[in-house]
Amino acid sequence: MITEEKRQELLDRLRNSVIQYDEDGAKEASNEVIELGMDANDAIFNGMVSGMEEVGRLFEAQEYFVPELLMSADALYAGLDILKPHVKQMDLGVKGSVVIGTVEGDVHDIGKNIVKMMFDVAGFTVYDLGRDVPLDKFVEEQLKTDSDLVCLSAMMTTTMVGMKKVIDDLKAKNPNVKIMIGGAPVSSDIAGKWGADGYAKDANNALKDAINMVSSLKKMKEEAEARKKG
Amino acid sequence: MVETRTMTPKERVLKLFAGEKVDRPPCFSGMGNATTEGLGRLGYKFAALHADAKMMAGVAASTYKLTGFECGVVPFDLCVEAEALGCEINVYAHLDDNILYPTIKKKIIHNEDEMGISIPPDFTRRGRIPLVKEAIELVKADIGNDVAVGTYVLGPFTLAGQIMELNDLLKLSFKKPEKVGNLLDTLADAIVLCAREFEEAGADYITVREMGATSDVLSPRVFKNLILPYLKKIFGQLRTNTVLHICGKTNDIAPFMVESGASAISVDQKNDAAETKKKIGNALLFGNYDPYNVLVAGSETNVRQAIRKCMDDGVDAVWPGCDIWPTVPIENIKAMMDEVINYRRPVSN
């Protein structure tokens, strides 16, 4: 067991390495966490994720911009790579699986990758289709993996319109699947109009929304099971 | 209501650029405005336009002919310069009905060490630069007496994002700004070479699209220190009328955009145009209705409201925030034209 003082010190170092986009610092602190037998979950959530939350705040306050966000994400992944094999059980109350990708015609994947990172951290199983993904592929992959959630990203107005077709096709094949859309041109209005279940205003909100949607989905399934049994 | 013509749309645009008085703001664009209506009447597929000067020109002129929209603009994609520099593009020819804009399939810079590129000696004869040049000439010959004919090039940072991974470019702009600066310097030269060709073909105005440098992505400080110098380099060398377009958040960088030396600046619906107009004084501001949510997906009432807002905010030209998505209802463009022609600005002071 490590002392509370040492634990705090490591959490601070992890948190600051993410905020200051210091990959080496994240690696060093993560290795120390493992060597000292500190709980990896604790290190991820109370160290690095807490740092990423601060990065999100700085981004919102326009003190940080996308380059800083990307560098912070690199630091987070550098630590996560070391800590993840030692995580005993990811428990955010819900375990979901998600298909994620940028729609065909759009080669921008930065936003998608940040949202993906949040899912990775939260212990979701992520099927990342990448960018410029043919629309049918989303439907195919969802059916193949029976994922709870499909996340569509578009960075440009000119590619956003493809999302509507994917939403329609997904809902036709599987009315229970939850769909979240995001990206610069997307709004909650459009999400509502096109029948998406969620709108990813930013990565933090995307994760919160996803957890809510997957929870409600699980609850629905459990209730259905219970009815069957009853 | 039909307008009593005091000047042709072309004269109006040219006078505006020249700083002379005009009877009303022109309603035009420096970005793509193909319509599926125009495509249908000509029997062309969107994916085929990009490689055929005649089709490109035909569709560019069709929007004016169908709606009175006051310009003719080619090309319809953002890959021309990148292709001439050696990138491979995807025009999504396999999609029959869906419209997608071409993208870069193969980049020429794969890591930091490959950033020291040089411009191919035959750059202006490569890729589709000659084809776009020809298309400009064809649009000029077709509707060039009535309306101003425009074209566009990318800004250096946006072009850099086409020829290398945007992820890497963004991080390097922070970690190794001098390396990125050198690349932008080379790309600025390439952009000038390309734009010169388009000037020679008779383009009445050229829009430099630098959307990669929006404040949604980069801080105003990075914009000013790293990107503005190369935009200045470009505008300093162009002879025709120029517009600098950046979408997304632009309120904080609008004064820098003016400082770039462009004849006018263009912003999208995320910009508070009234505030910007105050900030930039006499400099020309083009904008800033939402080309998708309003012009394509909105009702005629939405369109008229949005156009009035642009005019009340004091834009010098009513102009979209981006390319107009082709499925735009022709009636909405007509309603927009009608509103621009008939809505009179309140007398100031």
| A51 touches A16 (CB < 8 A) | yes
In whole numbers, what is the pLDDT of chain A averaged over residues? 88
**Any residues with CB less than 8 A from the CB of B20 and at least 6 apart, and which?**
none
> Is B348 a member of any domain?
no
Contact of B155 with chain A, judged by CB distance below 8 Å, is answered with: no
User: Which residue type is seen at B22?
Assistant: V
The whole-number pLDDT of residue B2 equals 60
Q: How many interface pairs between A and B have CB atoms less than 8 angstroms apart?
A: 70
ipTM computed for the complex? 0.88
DSSP alpha helices (H): ranges in chain B?
A: 9-17, 36-42, 46-49, 53-67, 80-84, 129-143, 156-163, 166-175, 177-200, 220-222, 228-237, 254-259, 273-280, 300-313, 330-342
Q: Closest approach of chain A CAs to the CA of B7, in angstroms? A: 34
How confident is the model over B110-161, as pLDDT tens digits?
A: 999 999 999 999 999 999 999 999 999 999 999 999 999 999 999 999 999 9
Domains with residue ranges and CATH for chain A: 4-86 (1.10.1240.10), 97-229 (3.40.50.280)
**Any residues with CB less than 8 A from the CB of B5 and at least 6 apart, and which?**
none
User: Which residue type is seen at B225?
Assistant: N
Instruction: Kindly list the residues of chain A whose beta carbon comes within 8 Å of any beta carbon in chain B.
Output: 62, 65-68, 70-71, 74, 104-110, 113, 132, 135, 156-162, 165, 184-185, 187, 189-190
> Can you tell me which residue has the tokens 């089709």?
B55
> Is B199 a member of any domain?
yes
Helix (H, G, I), strand (E, B) or coil at B207: strand
Best B101, B170, B289 member to test A by mutation, with max A CBs in 10 Å, is B170
**How many structural domains are present in chain B?**
1
Nearest Cβ partner for A105 among B92, B215, B291: B92
> Is B261 a member of any domain?
yes
Range(s) of the domain holding residue B48: 9-342
> Per mean pLDDT, which range of A175-189, B112-126, B256-270 is the poorest?
A175-189
> Is B19 a member of any domain?
yes
Higher-confidence residue: A49 or B168? B168
Q: What is the CATH number of the domain that holds B165?
A: 3.20.20.210
Q: Which two tokens stand for residue A148?
A: 């709870």
Statement: residue B285 has pLDDT above 80: yes
The whole-number pLDDT of residue B349 equals 41
- Which chain A residues are within 8 Å of B101, Cβ to Cβ? 105, 156, 158-159
> Is B173 a member of any domain?
yes
> Is B3 a member of any domain?
no
| B291 touches B261 (CB < 8 A) | no
| Reported pTM | 0.90
How confident is the model over A4-31, as pLDDT tens digits?
A: 999 999 999 999 999 999 999 999 999 9
**Any residues with CB less than 8 A from the CB of A80 and at least 6 apart, and which?**
A44, A48, A120, A121
> Is B21 a member of any domain?
yes
The whole-number pLDDT of residue B279 equals 96
CB atoms within 10 A of CB A94: 19
> Is B4 a member of any domain?
no
